[in-house]
Amino acid sequence: MKLLVVGGGGREHAIIKSLKKNPDVTEIFALPGNGGIAADATCVPIGATDIEKIVAFAVENSIDYAVVAPDDPLVLGCVDALEGKGIPCFGPRANAAIIEGSKVFSKNLMKKYGIPTAKYEVFDDMTAALEYLETAPIPTVIKADGLALGKGVIIANTRDEAKAAVRDMMEGHIFGKSGDHIVIEEFLTGPEVSVLSFTDGKVVKPMVSSMDHKRAGDNDTGLNTGGMGTVAPNPYYTPEVAQRCMEEIFLPTIAAMNAEGRAFKGCLYFGLMITPDGPKVIEYNCRFGDPETQVVLPLLESDLLTIMRSCTNGTLAETEVKFADKHACCVITASAGYPKSYKKGFALTMTEEAAAHTYVAGAKLENGKLLTSGGRVTGTTAVADTLPDAIREAYRIADGVQFENAYRRSDIGQRALQALK
Ligand code: AMP
Ligand code: GLY
């Protein structure tokens, strides 16, 4: 089978390494992939949002199955376009990807179907939003409607900060057009859990839970990033919490999307907060998380390609989705300065052991050598029987990843360890 994977980060590298385990796979093309992914797939310089070119490439190369991994091509209808040419795909169509593409859509969906989430109001008029903030409970959370490159969330600790955020979004357009509509919502507290799930639109099979570390600095300080490391499973996701999530959130969400005529097939990511009132949805993503994927897929014992195709074909109910009863830790090595400004173009070297455990997110190949090309450069994952061992191993192996200005958080997994105690 010839496969195509759209995307070019650490998540896509993890997906490709997992897909390669299936003996029927003869070739994998990554569009665009990256210098590190080139060790495991044929990288083709077509951007992940260049849908016309992606479709043309898939047709010309007789692709048997495509995996569309990032949010933006999904929201733009990449799956619809590929399916239109008869190419089966993993990933939701645009009408279902809107669950991530529009926060107004997802909040209204949850309200309509009684799915637990933070209380909220939607505004498309700045004066009304500012007036609402005169009496809204503080802290408050302000979210731009669109994808906003994953950055459109501001947590305001004072009324003035909240008003400034609204002005920045609606008048200053700091997140572009996605600031035309905003959501102002209740500030929730409690540990966060990421649950990625497979769904064929009928049944939903959650993957092992995970914990992201979103802030740039140790002890959750500094700016929000795409994620500086992950562990799986997440100790806050107890069997009782898992059962409540299934009954109160996962199944109702699948049913709600069906009732709206927007059946969701692919990976539905539930960003959850375990509040004193029970689990609530912070956000939905229409795709695998990054770097959650780098701890979840290494624990997957069943065959990824078989599961993905069953999501496409509607046969997930009969398909085994089994995870190892182990622990995984992924440590991101980033360019110092990320997520703000950082230097790139430095030589990236990895020991043989490090390369075997590392997913490359931001590097390019030049004259056969890897050079850093992004903020998040690599993710190094270790699997072990216990969480302390997984953390220790991930850090030990990540030491074999080297480049000038390399930066890692030193406390990935520590919060999970505290929770276990
Ligand atoms: P998002 O981009 O929606 O994942 O939001 C980024 C981060 O903001 C989340 O991971 C949470 O830590 C935080 N956040 C979002 N919404 C809320 C909320 N209603 N209450 C508290 N924290 C939130
Ligand atoms: N790591 C968070 C995300 O993928 O959205």
Q: Is 151 in the pocket of ligand 1 (CB under 6 A)?
A: no
- The answer on 351 and 308 residing in a single domain is no
Mutate to test the pocket of ligand 2, among 71, 195, 269, 286 (most ligand atoms within 8 A of CB): 269
List the CATH number of the domain containing 305.
3.30.470.20
Task: Print the domain residue range for 358.
Answer: 328-420
Residue 114 lies in a domain: no
Ligand 2 atom closest to Cα of 290? 4
- The answer on 67 and 13 residing in a single domain is yes
**What DSSP designation does 69 have?**
-
List the CATH number of the domain containing 40.
3.40.50.20
pLDDT at 149: 54
Pocket of ligand 2 from Cβ distances under 6 Å: 212, 226-227, 285, 289-290, 292
CA–CA separation, 293 vs 413, rounded Å?
16
CA–CA separation, 116 vs 276, rounded Å?
12
Residue nearest to atom 1 of ligand 2 (CA): 290
- The answer on 167 and 142 residing in a single domain is yes
Ligand closest to CA 141: 1
Ligand 2 atom closest to Cα of 285? 5
Give the total number of structural domains in the chain.
4
- The answer on 264 and 208 residing in a single domain is yes
Residue 239: which residues within 8 A CB-CB, separation 6 or more? Answer: none
Final residue of a structural domain among 283, 318, 353: 318
Dihedral sign, Cα of residue 16, residue 17, residue 23, residue 29: positive
Q: What is the pTM of this model?
A: 0.96
- The answer on 390 and 341 residing in a single domain is yes
Listed residue (117, 141, 118) closest to 129, CA to CA: 141
List the CATH number of the domain containing 158.
3.30.1490.20
Strands 89-90 and 27-32: unpaired
pLDDT at 393: 98
Cα–Cα–Cα angle for 38, 43, 44, rounded to 5 degrees: 160
CA–CA separation, 272 vs 252, rounded Å?
15
pLDDT at 180: 85
CA–CA separation, 334 vs 363, rounded Å?
11
Residue nearest to atom 3 of ligand 2 (CA): 289
- The answer on 268 and 197 residing in a single domain is yes
List the CATH number of the domain containing 416.
3.90.600.10
Residue 347 lies in a domain: yes
Tokens of 359: 């997913």
- The answer on 312 and 216 residing in a single domain is yes
- The answer on 336 and 410 residing in a single domain is yes
pLDDT at 176: 82
Give the phi and the psi of residue 198 in degrees, each rounded to 5.
-90, 140
- The answer on 286 and 227 residing in a single domain is yes
pLDDT at 116: 98
Residue 111 lies in a domain: no
* End-to-end Cα spacing for the chain: 47
pLDDT at 27: 98
pLDDT in tens, the chain (421 residues): 999 999 999 999 999 999 999 999 999 999 999 999 999 999 999 999 999 999 999 999 999 999 999 999 999 999 999 999 999 999 999 999 999 999 899 999 999 999 999 999 999 999 999 999 999 999 999 998 877 655 678 899 999 999 999 999 999 888 888 778 899 999 999 999 999 999 999 999 999 999 999 999 999 999 889 999 999 999 999 999 999 999 999 999 999 999 999 999 999 999 999 999 999 999 999 999 999 999 999 999 999 999 999 999 999 999 999 999 999 999 999 999 999 999 999 999 999 999 999 999 999 999 999 999 999 999 999 999 999 999 999 999 999 999 999 999 999 999 999 998 8
Final residue of a structural domain among 93, 111, 145: 93
Ligand 2 mean position, distance from CA 290 (Å): 5
Ligand 1 mean position, distance from CA 106 (Å): 14
Residue with tokens 């992914």: 37
- The answer on 216 and 175 residing in a single domain is no
Tokens of 258: 């069906």
pLDDT at 150: 55
- The answer on 415 and 391 residing in a single domain is yes
Ligand closest to CA 155: 1
Ligand 1 mean position, distance from CA 29 (Å): 34
Residue 52 lies in a domain: yes
pLDDT at 72: 95
Mean pLDDT of the chain: 96
Ligand closest to CA 283: 1
Residue 352 lies in a domain: yes
Residue 323 lies in a domain: no
Residue nearest to atom 4 of ligand 2 (CA): 289
Residue 185 lies in a domain: no
Residue 78 CA to chain centroid, in angstroms?
Answer: 18
- pLDDT tens digit sequence for 188-227: 999 999 999 999 999 999 999 999 999 999 999 998 899 9
Mutate to test the pocket of ligand 2, among 292, 294, 296 (most ligand atoms within 8 A of CB): 292
pLDDT at 151: 65
Ligand closest to CA 230: 2
